Amino acid sequence: MGRPGREAVKKHIPALRRQFAIDLVVANAENAAAGRGLTERLCGEFFDSEVDVLTTGNHVWDQREFIPYIDRDPRVLRPANFPKGTPGAGWRLHPMGERNVLIVNLMGRLFMDALDDPFARLAELLEQFRLGVDAAAILVDFHAEASSEKMAMGHFADGRVSAVLGSHCHVPTADNQIFPGGTAYQTDAGMCGDYDSVIGMQKKPAVLRFVTKMPGERPQVAEGEATLCGIFVETDNHTGLALSVEPIRIGGRLAPHLPQR
């Protein structure tokens, strides 16, 4: 979320990769450009900070100059259930040595823009890529508003993907778990941003909008120290199913948490 979130990623991700021997880092970066979209330059900053793949969501087109770039860089995804012909790709088979990991970006439809069916789109992809056979692991970033839709997606994919992890709500949830079929799940990973805010935006203008119901000044990103929020998932080398799933929180206002390894 804006500059504070980017700085938190830059500061902590390289150290986390070394400390926990992390093979793959995926970041939803759709609010990186002052809270509104993403740019080519900022993508470069994330890749320099040892992020491997970037996902997005409903703010993917906020920066119009970004549209031609997403067609050129397969490491940047937009939701796979956008209509056919939309620029960019919604999934990536990311190489990791002799193995590949499938990353799928999907967007929900409850209280969101009307897109194609994310459940049907994932089912199509899972016919093409089988967990533990065609991909060593399969990660789904489900960018959605409703917790019910996110949970339904988790159960729909249980046993067929390594993890279904939610984004969009900017608040980390406390329901990290492994479903009966072996898929890791958390309703929302939370934001990398300043939590002394209203979902990463400055408090005063945001509160005023609710109190007065007037448009007021355009909200700006809160510029205090960010909390880096994420989810650490460990998968089985043979099946691709999850062995553990834990939250990561570093810095800022939220209580810190690191994986217990």
Q: What is the CATH number of the domain that holds 158?
A: 3.60.21.10
213 lies in some domain = no
Tokens of 217: 């000044």
Whether 59 is catalytic is: yes
80 lies in some domain = yes
SS3 state at 91: strand
Q: What's 216-246 look like in SS3?
A: CCCCCECCCCCEEEEEEEEECCCCCCEEEEE
pTM: 0.95
Give the range of the structural domain holding residue 84, as residue numbers without chain letter.
2-195+224-250
Among 11, 13, 70, which residue's Cα sits nearest to residue 37?
70
202 lies in some domain = no
219 lies in some domain = no
Q: What is the pLDDT of residue 214?
A: 86
206 lies in some domain = no
**Angle between the N-to-C axes of helices 2-20 and 40-48, in degrees from 0 to 180, rounded to the nearest 10:** 30
From the list 12, 59, 143, 168, the catalytic residue is: 59
260 lies in some domain = no
Q: Which residues in the chain come in under a pLDDT of 70? A: none
Specify the number of domains making up the chain. 1
Please give the full DSSP string across 154-209, using - where no structure is assigned: HHHHTTTSSEEEEESSSS--S--EE-TTS-EEES----SB-SSSBTTB-HHHHHHH
pLDDT mean across residues, the chain: 96
Q: What is the pLDDT of residue 69?
A: 96
